[in-house]
Amino acid sequence: MTPCFAEAIKSVPVVLTATVQGQPVYEKIGFQTAGYIHTYKAQTTNPAAFRVSGGIHLSPADGADLPSIEALDEKGAGTNRSSFIRKRMERASFRLIAKNEHHETTGFAFGIETPANLMIGPLTANDEQTALSLIQSLISSYSGAIRLDMQEETAERLHETLVEAGFTKKTNVAHFMMIRGKEKLNDPALFYFLASQAFS
């Protein structure tokens, strides 16, 4: 594992998710803890709990939207993840994009369907109303279990709304966001939901 990381360019951050057991292992090879990852799950949801305004235009995202999606993701994640975003979009069962009246991209969300649940993420948006609109639209169109992974800052802002919408926060397992190569660069004000660290 270490030789793989050693080949990474120092100016490019390497980010991973670690369990309590894995945290000291990664610290030994130069990773630092940048925060906590919180997971919310729901078997059934109440989309009306999100109380969104009706002025946000959402539509299915396609290949023509990739450049603007990649640009917004880079702004939120703090690094260029174009290759990852393209592959994630190809795998996604649900792909939504939000645009303003000037046809500028203001948010996007992908939903990955697994045998266990629909995992929403990444979800990036310029403002909370846009993020809530994307969440509401995705959970309204899905009848099964849903999983959300987010940073601590996002969980603090959205916890009450998510609970009202039928989500329960997992408290039995702690996960850490760890980074090597740079300080934490992502912007929690834009970077709402992560691409899940586990396909389960």
The torsion angles phi and psi of 123, rounded to 5 degrees, stand at -130, 120
How far is residue 52 from each of residues 56, 98, 111, 127, 193, measured CA to CA in Å?
Answer: 9, 13, 20, 12, 18
Architecture of domain 38-171+189-193: 3-Layer(aba) Sandwich (3.40)
How many angstroms separate the CA atoms of 152 and 31, rounded?
A: 19
User: Which of 166, 128, 143 is CA-nearest to residue 48?
Assistant: 166
Residues 6+ apart with CB under 8 A from 72: 105, 106, 107, 108, 124, 126, 190
Which H/E stretch holds residue 77?
helix 66-77
Q: pLDDT (tens digit, 9 = 90+) per residue, 32-91?
A: 888 888 999 999 999 999 988 777 899 999 999 999 999 999 998 888 889 999 999 999
The answer to whether the CB of 156 falls within 8 A of the CB of 112 is: no
Residue ranges covered by each domain of the chain: 38-171+189-193
Q: How many residues does the chain have?
A: 200
Do β-strands 94-99 and 191-193 pair in parallel, antiparallel, or remain unpaired? unpaired
Write down the pTM of the prediction: 0.86
Residue 122: asked if its preceding bond is cis (omega within 30°), the reply is yes
pLDDT digits (tens, 9 = 90+) for 79-114: 888 999 999 999 999 999 999 988 999 999 999 999
Q: Coil, helix or strand for 7?
A: coil
Contact status, residue 63 vs residue 104, Cβ threshold 8 Å: no
> Other C-beta atoms within 10 Å of 86: how many?
14
Q: Lowest mean pLDDT of 14-18, 156-160, 186-190, name the range.
A: 186-190
